[in-house]
Copies of this chain bind each other. A is one copy, B any other.
């Protein structure tokens, strides 16, 4: 069992190389092991390309290796058993002669769940599943949500002091957390196809909302600016409208603002999504529908409090990342991340499920799925 944990950890490391580059497909990693040694590796290629198992099998052959009775395939997600854009992975595994397969997470797609395992077992292969299952499932927050709901996965990040504040009373938030926690934020930014912020955050911080990671060129996800009153369209232009990634900026505003917004947007080459509200939801339902039309399967909301609270009240926030730093402001008027709910008891709080704890230097992260009362 210890060997299984060790090699599944290697498969997870391989999967991380596909991090953020496979949506809406899952990021999967695979390794092929012989005699206590990893002989071949593979990870999911961008949509239309090889799945992880196929890549690992190709790598195996390129190494000139030969399958024997002790060759084991480790893969972070149950192999697919349906021919999609690529052939079924179960067919490739059966064809390879490998007799043992170790699987991390089972396919969350209700239509496929367990079929890959059953198919391999029916052909006489030894299959172990559920190895490092939680870590393997955690590789695909967006895919898991998408295949089971058909909707985009909406996550939010907050960084607070020990007393739960996201900025001073004057709106200053640089910096609450330290460099290691901010690197982790960059890592998650790089996973999500889109970032969203509210107009207040643009005016207060003028953020870049790009992905800046050591050794890699700066790049940009889709950048949503929620701006109901077009207050960010002022003379001193924010970076998100004027930097080299302006074409990836999308201003989200009510349908009534469409004309004003489009006149402005054409000058800068940014996009406008003008949305109809439904039952006073601030256009959130229409936003989710638009995301799917635009092939955006996951959104990472970085604040501020108005945007976060709007999604929370609409129960449209699925996942929350809460960093906290070892400092206190001690000020009732310092800014809080959420408002607008009025729970009468602790039982009416919004709960996190499948909670994970991590540390980044002196900062802590708690993250999990939101469960609404």
Report the Cα distance A326→B352, complex, angstroms: 5
The verdict on A342 contacting chain B, using a C-beta distance below 8 Å, is yes
Least CB separation from A352: chain B residue: B326
Contact with B along A300-319 (1 / 0, CB 8 A): 00000000010011000000
Contact residues of A between 337 and 367, Cβ < 8 Å to B: 337-346, 349-353, 355, 357, 359, 362, 364, 366
Beyond A164-B162, A364-B357, whether A349 also contacts B327 by CB under 8 A is yes
Minimum CB–CB distance from A291 to chain B (whole Å) comes to 23
A161 part of interface (Cβ distance < 8 Å): yes
Once the chains bind, are A349 and B164 in contact (CB under 8 Å)? no
* CB <8 Å contact, A172 and B346: yes
A329 proximity list for chain B (CB < 8 A): 338, 341, 343, 349
Chain B residues near A362 (CB-CB < 8 A): 352, 355
Interface check A122, CB cutoff 8 A: no
Enumerate chain B residues within 8 angstroms of A339, measured Cβ to Cβ.
Answer: 330-332
Please name all residues of chain B whose beta carbon is closer than 8 Å to the beta carbon of A337 when the two chains form the complex: 163
Question: Which residue in B172, B334, B349 is a CB contact (below 8 Å) of A161?
Answer: B349
**A108 within 8 A of partner (CB):** no
Interface residue ranges of A156-171 to B (CB < 8 Å): 158, 160-165, 168-170
Q: How many copies does the complex hold?
A: 2
Q: Indicate whether A173 reaches chain B with its CB closer than 8 angstroms.
A: yes
From B162, B350, B368, give the contact of A320 (CB < 8 A).
B162
- Which residues of chain A in 137-180 are interfacial with respect to chain B, using CB atoms and an 8 Å cutoff? 158, 160-165, 168-170, 172-176
**Smallest Cβ distance from A308 to chain B, in angstroms?**
9
Q: Is the CB of A328 within 8 A of B338?
A: yes
Contact B330 A350 (CB under 8 A): yes
A161 nearest in chain B by CB position:
B349
For the complex formed, measure the closest distance between the CB of A98 and the CB atoms of chain B, giving whole angstroms: 39
Contact, CB under 8 Å: B312 / A174: no
Smallest CB separation, A181 vs chain B (Å): 12
* Cα–Cα distance between A217 and B309 once the two chains are bound (Å): 47
When C-beta atoms are compared, the residue in chain B nearest to A373 turns out to be B327
Kindly state whether residue A67 has any CB partner on chain B within 8 Å. no
Asked if A127 is at the interface (CB within 8 A of a chain B CB), the reply is no
A370 nearest in chain B by CB position: B328
What chain B residues lie within 8 Å of A320 (beta carbons)?
A: 162, 328
Within 8 A of B (CB), among A194-243: none
| A324 interface hit (Cβ, 8 Å) | yes
Q: Does A336 contact B (CB under 8 A)?
A: yes
Least distance between A373 CB and chain B CB atoms (Å)? 10
Does A322 belong to the interface (CB within 8 Å)?
yes
Contact for A168 among B164, B332, B343, CB less than 8 A: B343
A169 with B342, Cβ < 8 A, contacts A337-B163, A362-B352 known = yes
The 7 nearest A-B residue pairs measured at CB: A164-B164, A326-B352, A330-B341, A330-B338, A327-B349, A332-B339, A355-B362
Given contacts A158-B163, A355-B362, 16 further A-B contacts (CB under 8 A): A160-B164, A161-B164, A161-B349, A162-B164, A168-B346, A170-B344, A176-B346, A324-B366, A326-B353, A327-B349, A327-B352, A329-B338, A329-B341, A330-B340, A332-B339, A364-B364
